[in-house]
């Protein structure tokens, strides 16, 4: 997409960014900031594009009848999101598994589901749960397990300023919650990624 050459804000979000620049004491007319309201608005629209995703359209019928009852895992799915408390990024990896119940989903759909929920203002705990519940609802497997490991810039750049801390969250549904062996197999396979 080609950016317009206009230097004037052309929308509410651009106007708000312009106001932020004024409020922090910057001169929005200086060379490096002239296009900043447009660029920031464009970035936020992309980073929050998950609000407009229809999961059914995303899946696009990519459910397939298959006789397979072993665990399916897609791990190390890169994710980027914005914390809803400070609107600062958090980033990391999601590990997603499910036990099929006569149906499997196209493998590329799992990272797309992760992105659909990550590209919203989030807390990591809710993000983890939304991914698990969506897979449980849409493909009706025997169970779903999701683990997310992420670093939060709101902890690294401000507040406690801890550079090496990682937050780990999990959601276990169906057999992943009810069966210790299934849960342990998933966690062992995720840990074995290095």
Considering the entire predicted model, what is its pTM? Answer: 0.90
The answer as to whether 4 is a domain residue is no
Task: Convert the pLDDT of each residue in 122-169 to its tens digit.
Answer: 999 999 999 999 999 999 999 999 999 999 999 898 888 888 899 999
**Given the residues 86, 95, 181, 185, the one annotated as active site:** 86
Distance, CA of 48 to chain centre:
10
Task: Convert the pLDDT of each residue in 12-50 to its tens digit.
Answer: 999 999 999 999 999 999 999 999 999 999 999 999 999
**Given the residues 14, 130, 142, 152, the one annotated as active site:** 152
The answer as to whether 104 is a domain residue is yes
> CA 140, 141, 143, 146 torsion: positive or negative?
negative
pLDDT of residue 192 exceeding 90, the answer is: no
Residues in contact with 48: Cβ distance below 8 Å, sequence separation at least 6, in sequence order:
82, 119, 120, 121
**Given the residues 26, 129, 154, 179, the one annotated as active site:** 154
Say whether both 76 and 107 belong to one domain: yes
Say whether both 116 and 160 belong to one domain: yes
Say whether both 99 and 29 belong to one domain: no
Is 124 catalytic? The answer is: yes
| Domain count along the chain | 2
Domain that holds residue 83: 62-191
């Amino acid at each position: 997409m080609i950016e317009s050459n206009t230097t004037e804000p052309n929308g509410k979000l651009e106007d708000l960014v312009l106001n932020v620049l004024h409020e922090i004491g910057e001169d929005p007319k200086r060379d490096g900031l002239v296009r900043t309201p447009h660029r920031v608005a464009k970035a936020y629209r992309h980073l929050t594009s998950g609000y407009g995703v229809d999961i059914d359209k995303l899946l696009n019928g990519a459910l397939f009848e298959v006789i397979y009852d072993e665990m399916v895992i897609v791990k190390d799915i890169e994710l980027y999101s914005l914390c809803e408390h400070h609107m600062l990024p958090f980033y990391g990896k999601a590990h997603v598994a499910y036990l099929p119940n006569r149906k499997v989903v196209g493998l590329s759909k799992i990272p797309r589901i992760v992105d659909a929920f990550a590209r919203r203002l989030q807390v990591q705990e809710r993000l983890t749960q939304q991914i698990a519940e969506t897979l449980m609802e849409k493909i009706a497997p025997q169970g779903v397990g999701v683990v997310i490991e992420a670093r939060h810039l709101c902890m690294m750049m401000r507040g406690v300023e801890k550079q090496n801390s990682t937050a780990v969250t999990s959601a276990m549904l169906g057999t992943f919650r009810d069966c210790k062996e299934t849960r342990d197999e998933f966690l062992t396979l995720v840990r074995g990624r290095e």
